[in-house]
Structure formats: structure tokens, C-alpha cells
Amino acid sequence: MDWTPEVKNIVDLFPERGIFLTGIESSDPWVEGKRRNQLQEAHNFYEHWEVRLENIRKLGITWLRFGPPYSQTHVGKDAYDLSLAEKVLGRCDELGIEVIIDLLHFGLPDWLHAHSSDETFFQNSAFPIEFAAYVGHVARTFPKIRYFTVINEPFITASFSTKLGFWNESRRSGWNEDRLFMNAVKNIARAAILGREEIEKVWRSERRPGRPIFIQNESFELAIAEDNAGHRMPEADAFNLRRFAALDLIFGYRDAAMKEYVLKHGFGEADYMWCMEHGTRRDTVLGIDHYPAGVHRYGLETTVDETPDAPLKLFDIVKVYWDRYRLAMLHTETNGWPAHAEKICRQTYDVIDRLRREGYPVLGMGWYGDEYQVGWHYAMFGPLSFEESPVGLFYKGELQPVGRLFGELAKKGFDPIIKAER
């Protein structure tokens, strides 16, 4: 297995025995006429933030994904409220917790599209430039932050808003009708690229030491047409290409099939070439978000997502993404309900350990998040959209069995990666 010099340099930045991280769930999409705010809904972080951070540190976890909800912090054009982030990041610094700051987690501020009813949410062509200005402001405000997730899960952001119709634009479309999806992806990719460029400008202008590291996480997914559903193979193939669309554009990754696909669905040639010229994989770690339900089985007439009882397909899916992008990787997200959580945690650890022993540059493991979530079992959509999902390391401050296991695994760590010949 070949590593590029860039991959080697990234691997050498991280502890030899890997890192273990969790996250503060802060999703804030617009859903069924309401602004969701997981920071408030799930064991109110505004009230319990300090105890939650201390619990994480006591468990032995020293890496954290956190970001204030974009919809709450970019309060107007060139106007920002980072008061929560200032408190949280300051306390993390005191506790010795390294933060991967998460700058956009599914939601956009209301003011951004208040006067553009024909271009709402991720259809809004003004979004990338306004968001990039916000990103630059965050980078200047917090000079100790080195690790950035500019946009969380861009594929899910676009798909849930324009394919499945759950959030934001709330538009549904058929498997071969991707114009709205591609317009969202275009704006998301442009925002991610411009945001990255703003962070790099801050580094250069302030002559900061080292370089910023970009943790671009994505939902690692797979569609499978069952043996008796050959007629749905084109649908599965379309999904398996679509899942890469945002990453290809953000990374400037050239692929003939992808170019044909995006141009077919409304992407302009000039926009595509702009992404190819400005997108980059420099200083980038590919974040692995994977849940059993990310494997979709296309049957004769129905599509069924895999359950936690099915064998974990993480190993094979990671290899597919590695073959495409050849980036250092970090497992950033999984979880499960109490009946399955310890099994998922243990299996995930074992898969990452195997990948590392085979030379894949996987830098560590994440369990998402520290506390229970609200409505996530149903994508925060529908009649059960406020049901508690007890998937965290803690439940209302009480350590859960999976939290105890994750803490033990963090203490144990991984064997060093079997480094590839270079």
C-alpha cells in the first residue's frame, strides 16, 4: 500500500497509538416549520456545558468535536455572536481537550434567505460567500484552534434537504432527478472551499506556526441491489456515485463519470472547473461517519436500511473511500441504542485495529456523542421527532456501559499503524 508524503506528514502529527474522540451534538436544521437546536434539546448544553466537558475529560477523552450552531452565531451580515464558543473553548483549553471545531452542522441562519424566497437554504447562491466570511472570523477569533470541520457531512446535508425532503428546503426527488441536489452540493462545495481558503489566509497573514488541519467528515454509505432486484441496479449505481459528489468537488478530485453526472444534472462547466481548480486535499483528513443504517438494500419494491444486528460493513466501505481519495482518515462518528451500543463500539474498534494493522492510515476512533440525542432515530422528522435517543457515552450525566467501554478502549489505545512502504 502506497502512502503519499502528505499522508505520512498527517499521520506523524497524531499520537502513535491513535486518538479517541466524542462530540457535542449541535445540529440545527429547519425541520417541519421549526428551528431544531440539539444543543438545547439534548441535556441542555447551555445549562450543563461545564459538567459535560468535565465528564468527557474524566473519562480520558482528550479530543472533542464541537461547534456553536451556525444559525445562532452568524446573526446578521458581518455580525457574529461567539460568546458560547468563547466559554466552551476556553474551558476545553483548561481541561486539556483538543477541539475539532465544527462550523456548519446542517443549519443556516434565517436572515440569510429571508429576502430570497426563490433561493432558500442550500439553494441560496449567497450562502457560500457569507459563510466564508463567518469562517474567517472564527479562525481569527480563536488562534489556538488548529483543527477544522468546515462543513459537516456535506452529502447528508444536501440529500436530507433535497432528496429525502426532511430538512431545510424539504424537497423530495426521484433517484434520477438530481438538479436540486446538485445545486445544493454546488453551494456546499463552494462554501467549504472558500471557508478553507479564509482559514489559510488567516494562517498566512498572522504567520501562525504549523498549518491548519481540515477534518472533512462524511457519511460513509453503500447501496446494494439485492440479487432478485436487478432492475434496481441503476438506482443503486446512481446512489453509489452520488455519495461522492460533494467530496469530489471539495477535494478537486477529477473523475470522468462524476463530471458527466454533475453536468447532466445542472452543474455548469465553469462551476465544475472552478471546483477542480480550487478544491484540494492538502492538509486534509477524511472523517469516517458510519452507522449500520448507512447500508441501503434495494429490494424488489422496497429499500431497507441495515440494522445493528447485521454484520458491520465498515471495513469494506472504508477501503472504497481510501481507494478513491488516498487520504489519512479518522473515524469520527458512530453510536447505537443501549441494546446494541457495546457491540457496535467493540466491532468498530476491531475494524479500525484491523485497518491499521493492514497499513490503512486511520488515526483514531469516535463515539458520537457525549450525551443522548433527540429525534435522531427518525432524522428529527415526523411524529417521533422529539423522542430521546439514548446513544451517548452519558445519559443526563450518568456514565453508560458504552461510555465505560469507550473509556477503556481509549486507555488501551491502538497498536501503531503498520506504516506503508514509501
Residues 321-352: tens digit of each pLDDT = 999 999 999 999 999 999 999 999 999 999 99
Residues 172-184: tens digit of each pLDDT = 999 999 999 999 9
The phi, psi pair for 180, rounded to 5°, reads: -65, -45
Q: Is the pLDDT of residue 117 over 90?
A: no
Q: What is the pTM of this model?
A: 0.97
Query: Cα(422)–Cα(111) distance, rounded to whole angstroms?
Result: 50
Residues 257-295: tens digit of each pLDDT = 999 999 999 999 999 999 999 999 999 999 999 999 999
Q: Which element (helix H / strand E) includes 271?
A: helix 269-278
Q: Are 301 and 232 in contact (CB under 8 A)?
A: no
Query: Cα(146)–Cα(213) distance, rounded to whole angstroms?
Result: 6
Residues 10-69: tens digit of each pLDDT = 999 999 999 999 999 999 999 999 999 999 999 999 999 999 999 999 999 999 999 999
- Set of cell numbers at residue 245: 459528489
What percentage of residues in the chain have a pLDDT greater than 90? 96
- Confidence at residue 111, expressed as pLDDT on a 0 to 100 scale: 94
- Confidence at residue 115, expressed as pLDDT on a 0 to 100 scale: 75
- In single-letter form, the type of residue at position 54 comes to E
- Confidence at residue 118, expressed as pLDDT on a 0 to 100 scale: 74
- Confidence at residue 420, expressed as pLDDT on a 0 to 100 scale: 61
Q: Are 108 and 127 in contact (CB under 8 A)?
A: yes
**Residue that the C-alpha cell 458504552 belongs to:** 402
Q: Is the pLDDT of residue 5 over 90?
A: yes
Confidence of residue 422 (pLDDT cuts 50, 70, 90): very low
- Confidence at residue 311, expressed as pLDDT on a 0 to 100 scale: 86
Confidence of residue 113 (pLDDT cuts 50, 70, 90): confident
Query: What is the domain partition of the chain in residue ranges?
Result: 5-412
Query: Cα(234)–Cα(159) distance, rounded to whole angstroms?
Result: 18
Q: Is the pLDDT of residue 361 over 60?
A: yes
**Residue that the C-alpha cell 472558500 belongs to:** 194
Q: Is the pLDDT of residue 116 over 90?
A: no
- Asked whether the bond before 96 is cis by omega within 30 degrees of 0, the reply is no
Residues 200-237: tens digit of each pLDDT = 999 999 999 999 999 999 999 999 999 999 999 999 99
75-87 burial string, b = 16+ CB within 10 Å, else e? eeeeebebebbee
- Confidence at residue 102, expressed as pLDDT on a 0 to 100 scale: 98
Structural domain 5-412, CATH architecture: Alpha-Beta Barrel (3.20)
